[in-house]
Structure 1
Amino acid sequence: MPLPGRLRSIATVSSTYSEVVVEPAPSVPAPRALPNGLAAFLVFLSSGAVLVLETISLRLVGPYVGVTLQVTSSVIGMALGAIAYGAWMGGWLADRRDPRGLLAPALVLAGIATAVTLPVVRYAGEALRGGAASAVLLLTALAVLVPAGLLAAITPLVVKLQLADLRRTGQVVGRLSGIGTLGGITATLVTGFVLVAALPSTVIVLGLAAVLGATGLVLGAYLRRRAGTGLPAPARAKAVLAVVGLAAAGLSAVAPNPCDVETAYHCAKVQPDPRWTEGRYLYLNSAQHSYVDLADPTHLEYAYTQWIGLVADAAAPKGQRLDALHLGGGGFTMPRYLAATRPDTDNLVFEIDGGLVDLGRRELGVRTGPRLRAKVGDARVLLGAEPTDSRDFIVGDAFGHLVVPWHLATREMAAEVRRVLRPGGIYVQNVIDMPPDRFIRAELATVAAEFRYVAALAPPGAFAGQQGANFLIIASDAPLPLAAIESRLGLLPEVAVLVRDAALAGFVGDALVLTDDYAPVDQLLATA
């Protein structure tokens, strides 16, 4: 039976619609996956480069804002932020563009951004020098954010290209994630154990920039050949990138470098004293650290070194032999003083930075030998190997920038010092603090928890909370020669006061005793 006319029209439309729906859509070729080896290499390289940047950034910003817990935390935080935002942006772009056209530019731009890091940090560092929290955050952001963000975008781009078969998603993502982690681990270990010890920071940064840029250029050429004409490389873009890269290299060459020598731990510089041809200033991470008189080792320029010399002279007359141990070498000012005033004295110096010992030998008149020995290593570790009751005089003068390393400021450390001292021996410790003086109070409480007799030397304004200054802690298990010390204070060029007994207890108050379990040294030193 034939259908009525209206129903015939509906059937015709329905039939036509069915034909349209069932007709297969034209196929769109998915982006061709990278060879597995190349994908793994790109993820390994980009992830490792981020960790090289993170490690070396601490050395780039250290000369301007110090190497403190806050600076280290800021570098780590900025690197993690760059990784997070870079990966997010890389994933977003991978869903909107062919990742093959983004990989090579990302690597080249990361290389240029890495090269630009040097002049940016060095020029900005001169303006931001000092170490305020805002300066630390800004300088570390300038050192890390852009290049690390570009590098972090590489992994999601590669992952997108490798996900041709959704049944292997977990395997692909897991493998590339593991390779990226291995790249970061390898870069961290190689940078910390090899590169920093062998090369200046400038060479490491520019070398990394060159590797990234060259890899990007080679990758771009490879992908263009593989894709035919699908991935054009405009001549104008090439020219712009070349100009920017050359400009970055030129700025790096003329940017101010705060270091004469980069050691494993310090950016070091030795400058002559304009007032005296034989005087030398030692700067570590741009902070004035030591003064050495090449012609006269008995010349003590800084007030705190004069106090240490005064305590040594009050404890044992000049010419009397001492077995002295120095925790921290620096410019070797005090070992040279004791060697000159007491020729038979045995000076043993624990210095963590072997490069600093070599610099002292080359430029600061340090002459090591049987009576002046230097052991390279951590003072806490080396002290633990020293015999009990073996030293008459121990000098604590180890600093990381302007901060006593926390593990050298604890009660357990003070106990080790007391163990190594002979009965009646004296321990002096140099401490720098600023109002409200929370660290020096805590350190005095810590030393007093182990030693029966404790006193302190500093300018009057420092004890009054009116100025930042060096403080000298003096400690022993036997009564201190306080009368002899006070009688000599008036002979010094700068006014200093000796605080002891009830006055010292009042200054310390209920301050925290620092322990290996809890020693917030950096936080106690914060002035804000």
Structure 2
Amino acid sequence: MPGLYPVTFGEIELLRDLDRQDGWVLSKDGVPQSYVDLQDPTYLDFEYVRLMADVIDLMPGGALSCVHVGGGACTIPRYVATTRPGSRHIVIEPDGLLVDLIREQLDLRSVPRLKVMVLDGREGVARVWDGTADLVVLDAFAGATMPVELATAEYMSDLARVLRPSGTLLVNLADGKGLAFTRRLVATVRGTFGDVALLAEPGVLRGRRFGNLIVAAARSGLPVDLLTRRAAGGLTQARCLHGEELTRFVAGAPPIRDGEPVSAPVPPPAVFG
């Protein structure tokens, strides 16, 4: 049912998509957090989620073992469960009442082979066994802000620990003018992973407007040429920065480390009306 629901960390609003009978938006403090279509999990309404799906689609075929840091309405687990049957999912989400809400209102029980750990992102990943994941998706926000403790070099090393040698990391972040936080986060990821790419809509990538950017990383072997063409050919016509172009983008920005006084960017009030 549409409406406002209390959760552990505030209040969630569920909104029905008037254009799609089974489409739902999960929103917190006026910020859209997740979109799901209960009858068609392959329909991805948010542009940045489509970019993440492009990376996933280009991974080697077959079922995947996945770890998702940040639950929301579990859009990506639903997508992978549909496009790659037999995949297994661990979802790490600190808000237990939100998990209960999604189970009851948005049919989370229908997603096979999904386990939820009601823990914060640091503690949850620490409990995952070494070398067990093909895919780690870091998509955790407090409102519209990425928690800085999930953007540090130490945490990236822990994410790398749970990935198999051929595994892929996806990070969703949001940034605006100057992209200073993005540059530091990319530098942080590059300190752990040998192959890194950055994807975003051109206006966001130039710092002209606040929006989402996707970092894709692996020890080696990102399908950069295919990913570049796929991102450019989508509805977002996104750009993909890699190699020397990404080095120029980072421009010597230092990695983020535990304990540093770093602030994640906050969107201007006009972004969400």
Same fold (TM over 0.5): yes
**CA-to-aligned-CA distance 1:468-496 (integer Å, 9 cap, x gap):** 11000011111211122123224421210
Question: C-alpha distance in 1, partners of 2:65/2:114?
Answer: 11
Q: Is the 8 A contact 1:410 1:519 kept in 2?
A: no
Q: Identity over aligned residues, as a percent?
A: 33
Aligned residue number for residue 238 of structure 2: 496
Paired residue type of 2:249: F
**CA-to-aligned-CA distance 1:439-484 (integer Å, 9 cap, x gap):** 1111111111111111100011222221111000011111211122
Q: Is the 8 A contact 2:144 2:266 kept in 1?
A: no
**CA-to-aligned-CA distance 1:146-172 (integer Å, 9 cap, x gap):** xxxxxxxxxxxxxxxxxxxxxxxxxxx
Question: C-alpha distance in 1, partners of 2:132/2:262?
Answer: 31
Aligned residue number for residue 428 of structure 1: 170
Paired residue type of 1:277: Q
Aligned residue number for residue 41 of structure 2: 297
Question: C-alpha distance in 2, partners of 1:386/1:276?
Answer: 37
Aligned residue number for residue 269 of structure 1: 13
Aligned residue number for residue 363 of structure 1: 105
Paired residue type of 1:340: T
List runs of 5+ in structure 1 lacking aligned partners.
1-258
Give the TM-score normalised by structure 1: 0.49
Q: Does 1:311 align with 2:60?
A: no
**CA-to-aligned-CA distance 1:297-356 (integer Å, 9 cap, x gap):** 111111111111110110123xx1100110000011000000111110001100110111
Paired residue type of 2:256: L
List runs of 5+ in structure 2 lacking aligned partners.
269-273
Q: Is the 8 A contact 2:183 2:253 kept in 1?
A: yes
Paired residue type of 2:30: S
**CA-to-aligned-CA distance 1:92-139 (integer Å, 9 cap, x gap):** xxxxxxxxxxxxxxxxxxxxxxxxxxxxxxxxxxxxxxxxxxxxxxxx
Question: C-alpha distance in 2, partners of 1:452/1:488?
Answer: 22
Q: Is the 8 A contact 1:463 1:507 kept in 2?
A: no
Paired residue type of 1:323: S
Distance 1:313-1:369 versus aligned 2 partners, 3 A rule: closer
Paired residue type of 1:285: D
Paired residue type of 1:434: G
Q: Is the 8 A contact 2:201 2:238 kept in 1?
A: yes
Write 1 or 2 for the structure with the bigger share of helix.
1
Question: C-alpha distance in 2, partners of 1:493/1:358?
Answer: 34
Paired residue type of 2:20: W
**CA-to-aligned-CA distance 1:162-208 (integer Å, 9 cap, x gap):** xxxxxxxxxxxxxxxxxxxxxxxxxxxxxxxxxxxxxxxxxxxxxxx
Aligned residue number for residue 463 of structure 1: 205
Aligned residue number for residue 56 of structure 1: none
Quote how far apart the aligned CAs of 1:526 are. Answer: 8.0
Distance 1:370-1:272 versus aligned 2 partners, 3 A rule: closer
Give 3-state SS (helix, strand or coil) of 2:16's partner: strand
Quote how far apart the aligned CAs of 1:368 are. Answer: 6.0
Q: Out of 508, 514, 527, which is 2:250 matched to?
A: 508
Distance 1:369-1:271 versus aligned 2 partners, 3 A rule: closer
**CA-to-aligned-CA distance 1:199-242 (integer Å, 9 cap, x gap):** xxxxxxxxxxxxxxxxxxxxxxxxxxxxxxxxxxxxxxxxxxxx
Question: C-alpha distance in 2, partners of 1:484/1:433?
Answer: 26
Give 3-state SS (helix, strand or coil) of 1:367's partner: helix
Give the structure with higher Rg (CA): 1
**CA-to-aligned-CA distance 1:24-80 (integer Å, 9 cap, x gap):** xxxxxxxxxxxxxxxxxxxxxxxxxxxxxxxxxxxxxxxxxxxxxxxxxxxxxxxxx
Aligned residue number for residue 32 of structure 2: 288
Distance 1:332-1:434 versus aligned 2 partners, 3 A rule: same
Q: Is the 8 A contact 1:439 1:525 kept in 2?
A: no
